[in-house]
């Protein structure tokens, strides 16, 4: 039997995908709604997905499915335990965004510390022609050099951010896991990190232990001059608490590339127009042209490895 490979979210990756060398049938869908997953995968052996959720209830209706190839690194949208129980291989892509995400993070740091958004909006509103001097200094500007960057998550993305930050002259702290009983060598206790960070950047996976780790208490522990950056998973942060912390000035600003629900509802608490010093980008930190092409290459390589009987980058 020629295996059928179905890509359910083809338009989520703007890069060409080659085809596996082995005999197969490949079907692309530009996008897929949750109720379309089962009918579209009914006779498929391999599913290629990005952010669609596949849980036990879905798997139970797909007896032919033998592999899920993630066009992503994060796997919180897939029930890995259920896949293991059913013998469904799950493979992800790794390291494809080790340049794209760190550069995006540094860009967000610069935008916050130099108030780039506020100055651009002021110029567009006519503030510069009305200025009495050659410039106007309505918003504070801070250098990154000498600032303390605290990173939560020491994978390839965190390491990439650290290298760029050190080139700017920042001091880097590596946070221990929240609630950890012991602090590993080279790490700093999470509570201490919150107190010391001028910039706190999240690069950890979403798990039961990290969900909501940046809650009201964590935000209150941070410096009022501190910035929060999240390019990992939206649910790491209590978003309502962050909205209030920004309104009240508990922290100086935040820049997020992810939200707990994507796309977000129109009434999402962080989309309110009265929230100051907040930058939102629509989950694109990973999406440089170079990173998307590397992702595409790895997805096909993972599928090929599975078809050969030697799965790679295996999570389940």
- Enumerate the active-site residues: 233, 262, 283
User: Could you say which DSSP state residue 202 is in?
Assistant: E
CB 290 within 8 A of CB 99: yes
CA distances from 225 to 194, 235, 295 (A): 12, 23, 37
Beta strands in 110-209 (DSSP E): 148-152, 171-174, 199-202
Reduced to 3 states (helix: H, G, I; strand: E, B; else coil), residue 234 is helix
Closest among 309, 300, 312, 310 to 48, alpha carbons compared: 300
48 pairs with which residues across the strands? Answer: 7, 69
Closest CA to 114 of 199, 230, 174, 224: 199
DSSP 3-state of 229: strand
Residue 37 falls in which region: left (phi positive, over 0), alpha (psi -120 to 50) or beta: alpha
Are 285 and 100 in contact by the 8 Å Cβ rule? The answer is yes
For residue 48, give both structure tokens. 């290629």
Contact (CB, 8 A) for 199 and 149 = yes
Q: How far apart are CA 109 and CA 132, in angstroms?
A: 30
């Amino acid at each position: 039997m020629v295996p059928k490979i179905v890509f359910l979210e083809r338009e989520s990756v703007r890069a060409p995908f080659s085809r596996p060398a082995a005999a197969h049938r490949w079907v692309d869908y530009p996008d897929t709604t949750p109720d379309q997953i089962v009918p579209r995968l009914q006779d498929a052996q391999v599913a290629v997905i990005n952010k669609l959720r596949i849980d036990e209830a879905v798997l139970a209706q797909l007896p032919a499915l033998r592999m899920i190839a993630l066009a992503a690194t994060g796997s919180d949208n897939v029930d890995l335990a259920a896949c293991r129980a059913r013998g469904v291989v799950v493979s992800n892509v790794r390291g494809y965004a080790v340049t794209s995400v760190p550069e995006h993070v540094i860009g967000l740091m610069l935008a916050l510390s130099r108030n780039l958004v506020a100055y651009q909006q002021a110029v567009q509103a006519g503030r510069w022609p009305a200025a009495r001097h050659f410039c106007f200094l309505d918003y504070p500007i801070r250098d990154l050099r000498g600032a303390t960057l605290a990173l939560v998550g020491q994978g390839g993305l965190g390491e990439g951010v650290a290298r760029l930050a050190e080139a700017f002259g920042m001091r880097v702290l590596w946070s221990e896991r929240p609630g950890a009983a012991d602090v590993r060598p080279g790490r700093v206790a999470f509570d201490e990190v919150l107190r010391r960070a001028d910039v706190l950047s999240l690069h950890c996976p979403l798990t039961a232990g990290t969900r909501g780790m940046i809650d009201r208490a964590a935000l209150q522990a941070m410096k009022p001059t501190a910035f929060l950056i999240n390019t990992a998973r939206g649910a790491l942060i209590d978003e309502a608490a962050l909205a209030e912390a920004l309104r009240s000035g508990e922290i100086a600003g935040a820049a997020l590339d992810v939200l707990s629900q994507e796309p977000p509802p129109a009434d999402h608490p962080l989309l309110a127009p009265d929230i100051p010093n907040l930058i939102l980008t629509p989950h694109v930190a990973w999406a440089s042209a170079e990173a998307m092409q590397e992702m595409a290459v790895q997805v096909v390589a993972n599928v090929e490895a599975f078809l050969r009987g030697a799965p790679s980058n295996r999570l389940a």
